[in-house]
Structure 1
Amino acid sequence: MTENQHKINQLFSAVERLLKKQESISSDIELLRNEIQKVQDSEPKVETVQQQIPKEEVTTPPVSEPLKEEKVSTPTPVPTSSFEEQQITTSHKTETKRTIPPTKKPRTKNELEKFIGENLINKIGIAITVIGVALGTKYSIENDLVSPLTRIILGYLAGIGLLGFGIKLKKKYENYSAVLVSGAIAIMYFITFSAYNFYELIPQTIAFVFMVIFTIFSVIAAINYNKQIIAHIGLVGAYAVPFLLNDGSGKVAVLLSYMSIINIGILIISFKKYWKPLFYSSFGLTWVIFLAWFAAEYQQQEHFNLACIFLTTFFVIFYVTFLAYKLIKNEKFGIENIVLLLINSFIFYGLGYAILSGHETGKELLGVFTLCNAIIHFVVSVVIYRKKLADKNLFYLVAGLVLVFITITIPVQLDGNWVTLLWAAEAVLLFWIGRAQKITVYEKLSYIVMAIAFFSLVHDWFAAYNSYGYAYTKVPFTSIFNIHFLTSLLVIAAFGGIQYINSDKKYTPAFGKKNGLTKIISFLIPAALIFISYFAVRFEIVNYWDQLFNNSSVSLETDGDTFANQYSNYSLWNFKSIWTLNYSLLFFSILAFVNLKKIKNTSLTYISLGLLTLVILIFLISGLYELSELRETYLDKASSKYFVRGFFYIGIRYVSFMFLALAIFLSYQLIRQDSIKKKIHIPFEILFHITILWVLSSELIHWMDMGASEQSYKLGLSILWGVYALFLIGLGIWKKKQYLRIGAITLFGITLIKLFVYDIAHLNTISKTIVFVSLGVLLLIISFLYNKYKSTITNETTD
């Protein structure tokens, strides 16, 4: 038997095995269909699952390769309680459930009526009752219907009766009872305040004892009933009492003490319950009332001690109230908790600062007061950390407040550069903790401190400029070795450290790696670093030359009198501009070099290229003009008797050209990078040739001026431009660059327009002849080149 015949037999055997398996599977499917039919007969209205199981289709599978021999076992018939049946039954039930979606039972009219009758009406009723008692009392006061003592006694009786009736109904009607009890408590507050503040029937001590008793009772009742409504009406609602019955007596101490008692009651409740609406209401009302009083009626001499005491009291009460439930229940805090804690802290600090700054002794304690704020938060953070009383985020938040107030202490107590240094150091610390320890609150705070440090440094720069270089001051100035430059270096180091941490990929940013804010921040941090690094040295250069200018002023005397005018060496301002441009060319060249060799960032490549292009254009427009001014000053012998005019007035132009050449070379290296789009090459090459022609034109004018040949400016420039246009034509043909040839033709056109419109008007016959002949020859050469290489140009254009 041949080898092929043996393989064919193996394949037929494999096909037979597969057919047997197919028959077995068909038998299993038939059994399952029978079971499904039984279920369908028992529940005829239920949709079956049979539709999901297609009928068997016996097909011969394609044979791709010989199959090995394997034993075929006959499958055991599937019983009715098999796992497959359970799966189908489960699927069947699932499908049944999906066909009947749950519907929300609408609220009936009876339920709505029940809500209004049992809950809403009683609250409205008790509120109207309390208002009615207040109005009735006020009417009786205004019309003197009953004596003050009778009014107070009747008020207490009404409150006690309402309280007793409410307590009696507690077992059967708890909600209704709670409303009555809360209203009774509000009436008790109302009557006690009236008895003390308006009629002086009871002394202050007794009135406060009563209010403390009512507060304690309100706390007990609110916790016992577990009803926030009691606390709302009985405590927070009591805030309205002083304003409803205000007689303009101005008893501020009574009002603030009254508010303190109410807030203490809320504090006690917070140890058992954390009723947010209660806390928010009390918090808002207290600070609004205190701020309104401070803005309208605060008098420094009369209210200083009072304001300090109650400001501190309210701050401590709300601080402890905020922490009480969080620490006891170990509950995590959300954004609203952060906002409340920050508002409480900064209202306390802001009002405290305002109170102290207006006091003769207090304004000397502003730094101490700020530091005390930091100490308070520090003590709280230490207790939370050591006792492990809450989640770490609460600790980080409180610790962050410590850093914030230490930061504020710096400008309050110190001046000048120390403020900037400490803020920069704090920004690094916060950013490192935020990234390394994954504490997003710290990282977000660091961005605020970074901005503060940045603007503080800018302020220091301008302060230094005003001291050294402005208004003809003669304050001693030492370049580099001064506190302002040292501050700049340390801030550069701080932002450099922040950028190093930010570029480390093992740390996750606070806003996420793909968030838009993260991308903005990743751009702003290095941008700030580059900005600070550039201007730190630039300001040193500017201040140095301004200092020299200020010190150069001289006074002239004639016949014993001193002229009012002073003479200064204005050339020093030209040197300042030139050295500023030289430094700019050098700085951005170094930035480009570092990016090429070390950073290799595409975005920074484009930024460096843009900055170099900008500085080159500024140099061409402004720098060459300043160099020409120095040349004119050097040639002016009249001013040399007052100030020395050295050879560097001429030589500095070639120093500047070296910086310009370095910038052009680095720009060329940048556009050669693979990440740079090819379209940028053409604008750069055009800029390069414009720069060369501009510098050559400046040099031509310079040496003609030095040789006292001012009348030849026009002749020389026209010939130079024509020669350069010819050079561009030849280069464009050689390199097959059409844009160079077009640029050359444009340059030649400009030269011809200049020749006929401007040059020939003031040239003598010989000069005109030289210009016309020269340009004519150049045009003939250009035409010859175009004719000689027309096939090359045509093929290049076609391609």
Structure 2
Amino acid sequence: MTSPLLLIFILIILVSWVYYKLNRRIEILEKQISDLSKKESQENEEIKEIQNEEVILPTQATSYNFTSTATSTDRKETEQEIQKDWLVPFDFIKNNILTIIGIFTLVLGIGYFVKYAIDKNWIGENSRMGIGFLAGFILIIAAHFIRKNYTIFSSIIMGGGLAVLYFTTTIAFREYHLFTQNTAFLITCAITLLSIFLSYRYNSETLIVFSLFGGFLAPLMISTGQSNYIFLFTYLSFLNIGMLITVYLKNWKSVGWIAFIFTAIYLYFWTIQKTDLTTIIFYIVTYIIFYAFALQNYFKSNTLSKLDILMLVLINFTSIIGLVYIFNVLRYDPLSIFPLAFALINVFFAFREYQNKKFERNYSVFAGIGISLLTLAVALQFKTHLITSVWAIEASLLLYIWKKTNHSIFKVFFYLLFPLVILSQMMTWTEYINNEKHLTVVFNPVFLTSLVVIASCFFNLILLKKESKEKSDTEFFENTFKILCFGVIYLSILFELIYQLSSLHLVIILTYSFLYSIVFTCLLLSIKNQLSISENLENLLIYGALLLFIAHISSSQIVNAVLSKEIDLSFYWVHLIYLLPLLYFIIKLIPKSQFLKQKASYWIVSFVCILSVSFEFYRIYIFSNNSNYKNLFEHQEHFRVLYLPIIWAVLSCSFIFAGLKKNIPELNKIGFSLLGITILKLYLYDVWQMDNVSRIIAFIILGIILLMSSFMFQKFKNMLKNLVEKDENSADEEI
């Protein structure tokens, strides 16, 4: 027992002696610096007096300009201060990291010493508690005496002392049961009041942060596991009211944010653990407190900083999530009552700005939040999914506020929240599979939620359209965002379509799905300028459309389904609807794009055309011959051997004709390539499969087509030659 105490005593003496020597040396240096600064200030005053005698008084106009310049300078300084507010906590930690680590280490050291003394049975339970309280008060008293010269250092030391008092109370209650829960709670409240008084007395934001942490952690420290949420949230409400008063008196914003985070955690945890109607009262009280916190600068100077705007967004939407969740679980109606009530509050402030003819940042923020809440109220009234709808609308609101305020923090939060919207929407889609009841067409919770997300995506795309069209480092992310938006819109409608058609034949489902996909892609391409779609994204959409055409044309099992009487023949006309977007795609969309700059593009588009004509003539041939499963193979073989070469020959001539007319060499190559394939197919395969009559017909028709193609080729060749000679002659005449 003697040796550890002796060692500690010696260490304390050594540390005190070193501290005394260092402190003495620092005082001497401070005195020297003070003398030098006084001397320098005297010299500066003498120089200013000499300059003032020579300066001529400025005119009134000059004075006015100087004033306006000073005002603008003050504004810039204010803006810089607002920008720095976000980094204040990080700067504080960076500049005082050693002090923070030191006090943390000291508290741990005291704790380990007390533990060591307990293990050795040196002190009893009451003595242990007494040592803890004594150590805490010693630190607080020491901080009191050094507060004038070392403000921040003393605040951290005092915060450490308060931490010791909190932990001592907790251990005395939980481990040693020296007093009841009520007594422990009163002691923690007293410590919190003491810390608030000291922070206000010494004007220390650092100290009140320590106090706030202790105040919010106190219920956890003395918790016994029993549910007494009314007492808990009453205590938290009073603590938040104290926070609000402190913020309005001292303008300590960090205090409000810490209180908001702790309060939100408590409220959400309790709402999920035990959903109770009484909790609504505490949600409303919390909303009023933190809404007032967000409007502190607005009431004082009619301005909203970026953190104030962020708090307005968070307190509105976090409160609605909790309140609507409670109503939904307890099956109360209407769910839209809370979004409507909060919307009216924001609309009131927007109307206030409107009456004052101020249509700047404040008006945009209040109006944006109000409209978003009204939209959410409509969405919830139609029983949409809460989290997905809230996040989608909140994401759009953040993007809107970023466009109005140009504060990048809102754009960052938008890009963080939007992936969560996508994930939440994907979880919403799973209800098409898991839902046991049949969902009504369109007016069902899943698709109505999808409509909210679709509206949000369109709104986001319109806002981002105003971004710079020049290529930048963010082009990849913007293209990715647009692809995600298009994907969500496309899949939302597709899944609803598939779900509502799920009771029909698979061919019908696939046909409608492909038709919808083709129309959707062509629609995007037709409004590419309005959506500011980049060249790379446009090419990607064109390739996607071509693949959809190929898949729809070649994979359709409509012939087999009609022949087996599973679907009616009239449905074939629905299948042919794709020809309209295909013609529009080839005639209107492709020529206006940069897609044709690539030589391979002509080959892909031509392949789609050949595929379409070949398959549709095949289906018409099968249906017109009243085929059935018994003679289907025979008719297929007859079409493949006799009619397909003729169709390809006609197409090849068409490609050659178009290539010559429009002077596109690639079309000529495609036409001759298809003609070569047709001839090879005819001589290597078809001739051996035909009867004599079919062989004669095929050779005659194919021969006529080849002769006509050759004639047209020669004619256009001579025509082009004459045009070239005519141009050369006219050029010689001009010379």
Q: Match for residue 630 of structure 1?
A: 561
Q: Match for residue 554 of structure 2?
A: 621
Mark the CA change 1:412 to 1:328 in structure 2 (over 3 Å): closer, same or farther: same
Q: 2:636 aligns with which of 708, 713, 736?
A: 713
The alignment status of 1:268 with 2:197, answered yes or no, reads yes
- C-alpha distance in 1 between matches for 2:124 and 2:708: 116
Count of residues in correspondence between the two structures: 556
- C-alpha distance in 2 between matches for 1:588 and 1:124: 59
The alignment status of 1:539 with 2:463, answered yes or no, reads no
CA deviation profile, 1:716-761 (whole Å, cap 9, x unmatched): 3244443344345544554245434543454456557766887678
Query: How far has the Cα of 1:236 moved from its partner?
Result: 0.8
Mark the CA change 1:237 to 1:148 in structure 2 (over 3 Å): closer, same or farther: same
**Conserved 8 A contact 2:514-2:552:** yes
Q: Match for residue 699 of structure 1?
A: 617
Q: Match for residue 646 of structure 2?
A: 723
Mark the CA change 1:342 to 1:244 in structure 2 (over 3 Å): closer, same or farther: closer
Q: Match for residue 651 of structure 1?
A: 570
- C-alpha distance in 2 between matches for 1:243 and 1:213: 12
The CA RMSD measured in Å over matched residues stands at 5.5
Mark the CA change 1:758 to 1:313 in structure 2 (over 3 Å): closer, same or farther: farther
The alignment status of 1:739 with 2:666, answered yes or no, reads yes
Q: Match for residue 156 of structure 2?
A: 232
Mark the CA change 1:256 to 1:229 in structure 2 (over 3 Å): closer, same or farther: farther
- C-alpha distance in 1 between matches for 2:170 and 2:580: 85
- C-alpha distance in 2 between matches for 1:215 and 1:671: 78
Mark the CA change 1:426 to 1:706 in structure 2 (over 3 Å): closer, same or farther: same
Q: Match for residue 87 of structure 1?
A: none
CA deviation profile, 1:529-555 (whole Å, cap 9, x unmatched): 544543444334323222xx2xxxxxx
Q: Match for residue 417 of structure 1?
A: 384
Higher share of residues assigned helix:
2
CA deviation profile, 1:83-108 (whole Å, cap 9, x unmatched): xxxxxxxxxxxxxxxxxxxxxxxxxx
The alignment status of 1:687 with 2:601, answered yes or no, reads no
Mark the CA change 1:692 to 1:273 in structure 2 (over 3 Å): closer, same or farther: farther
Mark the CA change 1:223 to 1:752 in structure 2 (over 3 Å): closer, same or farther: same
The alignment status of 1:300 with 2:225, answered yes or no, reads yes
Mark the CA change 1:793 to 1:715 in structure 2 (over 3 Å): closer, same or farther: farther
**Conserved 8 A contact 2:170-2:184:** no
SS in 1 for 2:175: coil
Q: Match for residue 591 of structure 1?
A: 524
Q: 1:350 aligns with which of 265, 270, 287?
A: 265
SS in 1 for 2:559: helix
Q: How does 1:383-398 map to 2 (within 5 A)?
A: 383-388=296-301, 392-398=305-311
Q: Match for residue 92 of structure 2?
A: none
The alignment status of 1:192 with 2:105, answered yes or no, reads no
SS in 2 for 1:479: coil
Q: 1:496 aligns with which of 453, 458, 481?
A: 458
The alignment status of 1:671 with 2:633, answered yes or no, reads no
Query: How far has the Cα of 1:384 moved from its partner?
Result: 5.0
- C-alpha distance in 1 between matches for 2:106 and 2:402: 55
Query: How far has the Cα of 1:576 moved from its partner?
Result: 1.8
**Conserved 8 A contact 1:381-1:395:** yes
**Conserved 8 A contact 1:585-1:659:** yes
Query: How far has the Cα of 1:368 moved from its partner?
Result: 5.5
Query: How far has the Cα of 1:703 moved from its partner?
Result: 1.9
One-letter identity of the residue aligned with 1:722: P
Query: How far has the Cα of 1:417 moved from its partner?
Result: 0.3
Mark the CA change 1:609 to 1:454 in structure 2 (over 3 Å): closer, same or farther: same
Query: How far has the Cα of 1:666 moved from its partner?
Result: 2.8
Tell me the TM-score normalised to structure 1 length.
Answer: 0.55
Q: Match for residue 441 of structure 2?
A: 479
Q: How does 1:209-608 map to 2 (within 5 A)?
A: 217=141, 220-221=144-145, 223-224=147-148, 226-237=150-161, 239=163, 242=167, 249=175, 251=177, 253=181, 263-271=192-200, 300-301=225-226, 304-305=227-228, 324=246, 328=249, 337=254, 345-355=260-270, 357-359=272-274, 370-388=283-301, 392-409=305-322, 412-413=325-326, 416-417=383-384, 419=386, 420-438=388-406, 441=409, 444-445=412-413, 453=421, 455-464=423-432, 466-467=434-435, 475=438, 477-482=439-444, 484-503=446-465, 505=466, 519=475, 523=479, 527=483, 530-546=486-502, 549=503, 572-595=505-528, 603=535, 605-606=538-539, 608=541
One-letter identity of the residue aligned with 2:646: V
Query: How far has the Cα of 1:679 moved from its partner?
Result: 1.7
CA deviation profile, 1:380-418 (whole Å, cap 9, x unmatched): 234553345997345324323312423432662355505
Mark the CA change 1:272 to 1:608 in structure 2 (over 3 Å): closer, same or farther: farther
**Conserved 8 A contact 1:721-1:748:** no
**Conserved 8 A contact 2:399-2:414:** yes
Q: Match for residue 75 of structure 2?
A: none
Of 342-351 and 307-316, deviating more is: 307-316
- C-alpha distance in 2 between matches for 1:354 and 1:364: 15
**Conserved 8 A contact 2:140-2:161:** no
Query: How far has the Cα of 1:665 moved from its partner?
Result: 1.9
**Conserved 8 A contact 2:642-2:686:** no
- C-alpha distance in 1 between matches for 2:549 and 2:250: 66
One-letter identity of the residue aligned with 1:743: I
Q: Match for residue 178 of structure 1?
A: none
One-letter identity of the residue aligned with 1:627: I
Query: How far has the Cα of 1:580 moved from its partner?
Result: 1.9
Mark the CA change 1:355 to 1:520 in structure 2 (over 3 Å): closer, same or farther: same
CA deviation profile, 1:311-354 (whole Å, cap 9, x unmatched): 88689769967994x755657x7xxx5xx865653344334433
Query: How far has the Cα of 1:581 moved from its partner?
Result: 1.8
**Conserved 8 A contact 1:732-1:738:** no
Mark the CA change 1:699 to 1:245 in structure 2 (over 3 Å): closer, same or farther: closer
SS in 2 for 1:353: helix
- C-alpha distance in 2 between matches for 1:124 and 1:678: 66
**Conserved 8 A contact 1:357-1:363:** no
Q: Match for residue 84 of structure 1?
A: none
